[in-house]
Amino acid sequence: MAASIVRPSHFSALLLFAFFASLALGLMQRTTAERIRHAAWSFFLFLAIGIGIAWLMYPFSH
Amino acid sequence: MNDSLNHDVLKNEVLASDAPPRPPAATQATPSANPFAISTAISAWAVPGLGHLMLHRPGRAILFFFSVGGLAIAGYVLRGNVFPLHSNDPFGTLGFLADAGSGVFYLLSRVFEAAGPDVSRAAGDYGTRFIAAAGVVNILSAFDAYEIASGRRS
């Protein structure tokens, strides 16, 4: 039987990674408010930095 | 009266600073000597979330299990590379240390990734990073559990 092939887009893979990683990073804060704020900020930074680096590399792909 | 009181306090402080340093109290346990904290950290590494469960924090335990497991299983589904124990390459050894950080999920890699890795596609390369990130995140959670168990944080 052939193995199933999962091919997410670059962006959906980034979303998935950012979600799980920021969730875990947020859990290490002390209070619930800090956890939510830290997780949301980490999630935003993962996306912003990922998209930023993608745009920086864009000229080299053409 | 206040002046005399301040003078006495100042005098006591000077005398205290001249005194030789006292040895640490015998009852003050160092974190490294706390077997419960060590066993909590090892449990947190072996099964993600178990350390926090032992510390009566079931909500955080479930979320740690969910996040570490989610990263690891997503990595296996994407057919990322799982580094073996023995490697001639130093980066392979580092990769093993990162992957093995996910504890039981590292042992389950053969179950979830029966077809083996495929890094010829971008998805497989992403999967390799997902698996390593799961291990690193779980190591951080084990440190977190250790600090809670040793009383350094709540």
Rounded distance between C-alpha atoms, residue B99 and residue B47, angstroms? 14
- Residue B6 covered by a domain: no
Domain range for A56 is: 10-61
φ/ψ of B86, rounded to 5, equals -95, 125
What total number of domains does chain A contain? 1
Please write the tens of the pLDDT for every residue from A46-55. Answer: 999 999 999 9
> Is B57 inside any structural domain?
yes
Residue B89 lies inside a defined structural domain of this protein:
yes
Q: What is the pTM of this model?
A: 0.78
Overall domain count for chain B:
1
> What is chain B's mean pLDDT, rounded?
82
Q: Which two tokens stand for residue B117?
A: 């890795």
User: ipTM of the assembly?
Assistant: 0.84
B141 part of contact set with chain A, CB < 8 Å: yes
> What is each CA distance from B133 to A32, B42, B50, B112, B153, in whole angstroms?
24, 18, 19, 17, 24
- Is B78 domain-assigned? yes
Question: Of the ranges A1-10, B4-13, B30-39, which is most confident?
Answer: B30-39
Least CB-CB distance to A27: which of B60, B126, B134? Answer: B60
Question: Chain B: nearest CA to A17, how far in angstroms?
Answer: 7
Cα–Cα distance for residue pair B131/A33, rounded to 1 Å: 29
Q: Answer yes or no: is B18 within a domain.
A: no
Residue of B nearest to A30 (CA): B154
Would you state the pLDDT for residue B32?
Answer: 55
Is A39 part of a structural domain of the chain?
A: yes
Interface test with A, best of B137, B140, B152 (most A CBs within 10 A): B137
Q: Which domain holds residue B142?
A: 34-149
Residues whose CB is less than 8 angstroms from the CB of residue A15 and which lie 6 or more positions away in sequence, other chains included: A47
